Amino acid sequence: MRIIKCLITLSIVLLSTMSLAQNYQPPRTATGKPDLQGYWTNASITTMQRARDLTDIGLIIPDDQLQNLTVSNHQNVRQATDDNQVQGELPDGTDLLRGRGYNAFWVDPGTQFGNVRGEYRSSWITFPENGRIPYSEAGNVLRRDAREQFSGYGGPEGAPLAERCLIGFGSTSGPPMNSVLYNNMYQIVQTDDYVMILIEMVHDARIIPINGDHRPQELEQWMGDSIGWWDGDTLVVETVNLHPQQKSRMMASLSDEGKVIERFTRYSEDQILYEFEVSDSVYYTENWGGEISFNATDTKLYEYACHEGNYGLSGILAGYRRQELDIANSQN
């Protein structure tokens, strides 16, 4: 039944997208800017990087393959069978939850591939052509070094940032803002001077000043330093200067010279076209980026009371201290 509903939804979305007028005019605020406000979701079985088994498909999924690829996608298969296993993926493509404890009841990754401008996409990345992040050799070394520095549970810094309830996992809050296993809801509130994006996952909030200046480089904050401006009917956001613990640990790693450009354009009554480009000659061999569809929803955000890691971490650290004590006593 879940798969049948999935296919019906695919048909409705495709027909709705095909009927969009070429000269769509977005709703506007009192001062004439496009109104981006409301509740949006980017839930989808499309992933940031193109999955290995979709390499031969390319960016745009052909109509004659869409149904089979949708039904056979591992997320839909697991939700249909509820076999107590849901596969996740770390930013570098390694399995996160295979064999772990998440079953289909707890996740909501979406049931269909992302429809961007009337096309079903195999990856959010549109360039480079292979749909993969073009990490440089130096960038991979920096990322490996960061994993070694921030790994293990001898101290709190070794725990993943999401487990510590500091920011959402999988770059859900970005930049760029990626879809993940669940809690793919966003609320946008705007004034003439600011745009605020509230992310359901770990209740992250991005507060973006319009026509402002970047903060001093010494102020390294979570999700970086973002400023925005209007380019016609498109909101452009530039982010630099990620928090030190994010620089080499996020999907879009950034050095002090790197930046992320995001573009928000109201594409229809029901969709925001979200474009992004990551540039950093230290971490990547070339610029990379893509497009994501943010779809309107009547669903409201739930409170994300992130506490599991908070309690778990104190127990983990206490266990580690006891292990150190046992080792020290055994050597005396």
> Is residue 106 included in any domain, yes or no?
no
Using CA atoms, how far residue 217 sits from 11, 195, 256, in Å, is 48, 22, 9
> Is residue 213 included in any domain, yes or no?
yes
Q: HSE of 27 in the Cβ direction (CA atoms, 13 Å)? A: 9
Q: What average pLDDT does the chain have?
A: 84
245 has pLDDT over 70:
yes
Give the pLDDT score at 90: 41
How many domains are there within the chain?
1
In DSSP terms, 123 is beta-bridged to: 47
205 has pLDDT over 80:
yes
> Is residue 108 included in any domain, yes or no?
no
Kind and range of the H or E element at 197? strand 194-199
Span 15-34, average pLDDT:
75
Q: What is the pLDDT of residues 122-153, one digit of tens each?
A: 999 999 999 999 999 999 999 888 888 877 77
The DSSP line for 248-305 is: TTSTT---TT-EEEEEEEEEETTEEEEEEEEE-TTTBSS-EEEEEEEEE-SPPPPP--
Domain of 174?
Answer: 25-50+126-309
Give the pLDDT score at 14: 47
State the pLDDT confidence band at 73, using cuts at 50, 70 and 90: confident
Report the distance separating Cα 181 and Cα 86, nearest Å: 9
Give the pLDDT score at 177: 94
> Is residue 100 included in any domain, yes or no?
no
Report the distance separating Cα 135 and Cα 260, nearest Å: 15
> Is residue 19 included in any domain, yes or no?
no
The domain that holds 145 is classified in CATH as: 2.40.128.20
> Is residue 44 included in any domain, yes or no?
yes
> Is residue 86 included in any domain, yes or no?
no
> Is residue 202 included in any domain, yes or no?
yes
In DSSP terms, 28 is beta-bridged to: 34
Q: What is the pLDDT of residues 277-330, one digit of tens each?
A: 999 999 999 999 999 999 999 988 878 777 655 677 788 888 889 998 999 999
Its pTM stands at: 0.83
